């Protein structure tokens, strides 16, 4: 079964870059990689997603390994508001059944 593996927690200092890793060695060719984050008592918030190429948006960058078995979410300058649980998700297509497989998430702490 497809799955993602993330570190349980990470820590960063404010205004420094943060690299959040995700392992998805069981990824298939049509599986998208998504990242969402969740603050306490809120629904998850979209961060970024990609298929094969690296992606950039106003929130973050997504670096996808050449073999696609791992990826890294990059927050270029962490702020206190970036403290959240970050989820790496595979959008896995099995036949006509597209499932979204969420990891356990990385809890990011940002120090002032």
Partner 1 sequence: ETGVTQSPTHLIKTRGQQVTLRCSSQSGHNTVSWYQQALGQGPQFIFQYYREEENGRGNFPPRFSGLQFPNYSSELNVNALELDDSALYLCASSSGLAGVYEQYFGPGTRLTVT
Residues that bind partner 1 (CB under 8 A): 32, 34, 36, 42-46, 49, 85, 87, 91-93, 96-105
The whole-angstrom separation of Cα 84 and Cα 11 is 11
Residue closer to partner 1 (CB basis): 75 or 87? 87
Q: How far apart are CA 74 and CA 85, in angstroms?
A: 14
Give the nearest distance from C-beta 69 to partner 1 in angstroms: 19
Closest by CA to 59, choosing from 44, 72, 46, 50, is: 46
The nearest distance, CB 20 to partner 1, in angstroms, is 14
> Which tokens in the block code for residue 98?
């597209």
Of the pair 42, 112, the CB lying nearest partner 1 is at 42
CB of 18 to partner 1, least distance (A): 19
Q: Which is nearer to partner 1, 29 or 112 (CB)?
A: 29
Give the three-state DSSP class for 81.
helix
Q: Closer to partner 1 at the Cβ: 69 or 99?
A: 99
CB of 112 to partner 1, least distance (A): 26
Give me the DSSP letters along 21-36. EEE-TT--TT-EEEEE
């Amino acid at each position: 079964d497809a799955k993602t593996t993330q570190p349980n927690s990470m820590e960063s200092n404010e205004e420094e870059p943060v690299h959040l890793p995700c392992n998805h060695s069981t990824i298939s060719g049509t599986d998208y990689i998504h990242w969402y984050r969740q603050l306490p008592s809120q629904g998850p918030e979209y961060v970024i997603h990609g298929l094969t190429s690296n992606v950039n948006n106003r929130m973050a960058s997504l670096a996808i390994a050449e073999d696609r078995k791992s990826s890294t979410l990059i927050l270029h300058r962490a702020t206190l508001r970036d403290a959240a649980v970050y989820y790496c998700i595979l959008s896995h297509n099995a036949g006509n059944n597209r499932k979204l497989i969420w990891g356990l998430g990385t809890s990011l702490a940002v120090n002032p």
